[in-house]
Chain A
């Protein structure tokens, strides 16, 4: 975008790339470990970290305008609305009884 004057330096790109590689290695490692109930949360946490690195550094959101940041964040907020209000159904199905159900 025209308003982003700063661009990531080569060094920074390389460091982010290395971090992504390390996290990928970690993903492969934990896939072979049984963490019980933590299996999915840990995998998701690693995936979210990787996605955040890509969005913030490789896609240049860090150096962009507040408007771009708002757009980037609101996309995820809307996804959270879907999850939150959806889970507000799935996790509460036993809370209130219905006659005949």
Chain B
């Protein structure tokens, strides 16, 4: 096949060599790798905070961490995982790498701005790490006033500035993606031929540029309030602490969609591939991404049912919250319909897809519990909430990220990992995750509040189960890290299209050349044309 001559070209990984060539690169693929390394480091840091939380909660007494230290640990777990891992996770790595390739472009519209966004991310993240070293911050990742503005004596300002700066990195990424989708599509790549991963990243980018300025200004106001006593949030001088929650959740609810929409995009790619079928209701899935992005901006008050927010506003927010479940359900049903009567193959991507669908379903349905005002009075600030958002953000977001990482790993690195190990790891992650977080639904429903280092003894059994699950989950993650790194060193060379997938990214060599394509591709087929897709070539890999 012509693959043989194509493979002789030096890939983006090796041309040119040297650290400086990586740190000054304008290649979207190399920037994606820089992001991948950075978010992996932050995932490890955030994960070690989680380990400390779970270790403390093995016993009902607060014996491992003091109350103050525990406050700092769960705050930093949240800040690191949300702002420095989950938000950039899929868009800045898989999105950065594959979005341009999927639409037939040589790079993003603004390669230098893409590199700048990574540097801004590093500066913001470093500032937040500085806050950790200086003694931490203890407000919770939500920085609620008046605690963050007038009471806390920890490094709120430094951490808030770190979040503020990192915000610009996601604004720049979103802006870059939007311009790229509008201006850089190859001839024949019409909007409705774009892979759903591109649609999902496009919708995510809209949320990034419309929402992130609000959180940036809000955390800046916290810093200003602390330094200058402006009185924006301080009721003693005319401010309103609830205003902070309005501004914060105006961004932070849509931010959940920044974390989950790209994951839904990944799952659409994987579902089509494992079913070897066109996605059922392609345009519904595409538009549901946009619907989620837009309706997601109208529901933020469901985080504020037990504040001073008016009951009437609560009703409105509650009803719209039920509505936002509709486009998510559209996606879930369409994926299921895609798999129905599909030629489902038991490759490792299927494991991540099924894991995602199960966990996201539980996460989504428990979200409806919390969106119902009366029930939320009981469940607010309990472990039920903690379990719910971990099912969405870890069960959904991280499963999809790992699924995408496994699916695209051969293309990104040019190496294959061990398929049996991947299946074992995906099941470890799935069972470990459920063991960690399912007991939290029960213990939360029984009334265990979040954010305390001690708890009544009758809750212990659930917490021990949870910590045991977290250990399995951690082992699963560690295993993935090990065999993926090992595959770079010793893994067999990946063929051009190991999964027999459709899409431009599978028609170029693995790993791609710096400019992705030898000549600009002309697109003549619809997305997911699995009737004409090549057969998987993973089995005939040559060991070298």
Contacts and interface: CB of A to CB of B under 8 A. Distances in A.
A89 B210 contact: no
A95 interface: yes
Interface string B276-305: 000000000000000000000110110010
Nearest to A86: B246
A38 interface: no
A96 B317 CA distance: 15
B522 interface: no
Contacts of A67: 182
A59 interface: no
A98 B210 contact: no
A78 B242 CA distance: 20
B311 A96 contact: yes
A89 B297 contact: no
B15 interface: no
A10 interface: no
B298 A98 contact: no
Interface of B: 182, 210, 214, 242-243, 246-247, 250, 297-298, 300-301, 304, 308-313, 315-317
Contacts, number: 46
Contacts of A32: none
Contacts of A93: 308, 310
B311 A81 contact: no
Interface of A: 67, 74-75, 78, 81-82, 85-86, 88-90, 92-98
B210 A74 contact: yes
Nearest to B308: A93
Contacts of A96: 310-312, 315
Contacts of A74: 210
Given A75-B210, A82-B214, A95 B310 contact: yes
A86 B307 CA distance: 14
B182 A92 contact: no
Nearest to A84: B298
Given A75-B210, A82-B246, A96-B312, 12 more contacts: A82-B214, A85-B300, A85-B317, A88-B316, A89-B246, A89-B301, A89-B304, A89-B309, A89-B310, A92-B310, A92-B313, A96-B310
B210 A85 contact: no
Nearest to A85: B298
Contacts of A89: 242, 246, 301, 304, 309-310, 313
B214 to A, nearest CB: 7
Contact of A78 (B182, B210, B304, B309): B210
Nearest to A78: B210
A47 B214 CA distance: 21
B298 A81 contact: yes
A40 to B, nearest CB: 15
